[in-house]
Structure 1
Amino acid sequence: MADKSSTSTNPTPNSLHPVYTVTNIQHKVRMLDGTKVSYPSWVKLFMLHATGYEVVHYIDGTPAPGKDDDDYPTWKKIDAVILQWIYGTLSDELLVRVLEDTSTTYEAWEWVKKLFLNNKGSRAHALQHELTNLTLSAMLDLDSYC
């Protein structure tokens, strides 16, 4: 029997890679909009899905096979499907910021990550500064201040 390791991108001739069985990604991973669904929640849902469909190596930075490698055509097709998953679970506002003609799954994944985590440190610093300078006299009442 052929080895079916989770990192194989070239299934045996009579088998279909699990990625091709997904008909609607939005039934499994909710739409990332930054308000109703937060980035950390979206990542958890997406990673669960990617693990179950044996494609985590497309988004974790594992190098792609070379373009001359026999596995490359299959890898490229699966990469396109997962890229569709990412695009299909982004709000319209986020999609226009991430959509690229020649992007790979990993590049799109990193771009979404950068959108949400790039200013995390500066935002935390700004909120800390705001909290430090907050005074009771600037608030309507004690409940608002607390």
Structure 2
Amino acid sequence: MGKLNYDKWRELFETHCLSFGVLGHIDGSSSATPATAKEWKERDGLVKMWIYGTISESILDTVLKKNATARDLWLSIERLFRDNKEARALQLENDLRTMVIGDLSVHDYCAKLKTTASPRQH
């Protein structure tokens, strides 16, 4: 949550799922039929494991729910980041306004400014 890298993570994760033919498990275009239920559930579990393996423990603690599908997790993570966007923007603005050079060199101070401001480019 602190690095504000949701958009990057999302793009990489969607690309990964697309290349393995399971994008439908996160975009909602895939559903099980009686004939494919077992295979669908196995693939959904695989996508869930990918999600679990690529998010922080604090996010995992927030979104982990029994019997959730990969799509459920995907939407929970999206809501977590999208709903907090305004609050995060205010926090970033405050961080930039209150940043002081202190003992930093001009180069290090500029690098710190750039690092803090870069998430705003999403």
TM-score range, shorter chain: 0.5 to 0.7
Taking only the aligned residue pairs, the percentage that are identical comes to 32
1:96 paired to 2:27: no
Cα distance change of structure 1 residues 34 and 47 upon mapping to structure 2, 3 Å threshold = farther
> What is the CA deviation profile of residues 96-128 of structure 1, one whole-angstrom value per residue up to 9, with x for unaligned ones?
00111111000000000001001335665x57x
State how far apart, in whole Å, the 2-side matches of 1:123 and 1:50 are: 28
Runs of 4+ in 1 over 2 A off after TM superposition: 119-124
State the shift of 1:62 in Å. Answer: 1.4
Over alpha carbons, which structure has the higher Rg? 1
State the shift of 1:44 in Å. Answer: 1.0
Q: TM-score scaled to structure 1, two decimals? A: 0.58
State how far apart, in whole Å, the 2-side matches of 1:49 and 1:61 are: 16
* Aligned residue among 14, 18, 24 for 1:47: 14
Consecutive unaligned residues in structure 1, runs of 5 or more: 1-32, 141-146
- Where in structure 2 are the equivalents of 1:12-23 lying within 5 Å? none
Higher relative contact order (CA 8 A, sep 6+): 2
User: What amino acid maps onto 1:99 in structure 2?
Assistant: L
Q: TM-score scaled to structure 2, two decimals? A: 0.68
Consecutive unaligned residues in structure 2, runs of 5 or more: 101-122
- RMSD over aligned CA atoms reads 3.0
More helix, by proportion: 2
Residue in structure 1 matched with residue 51 of structure 2 by the alignment:
86
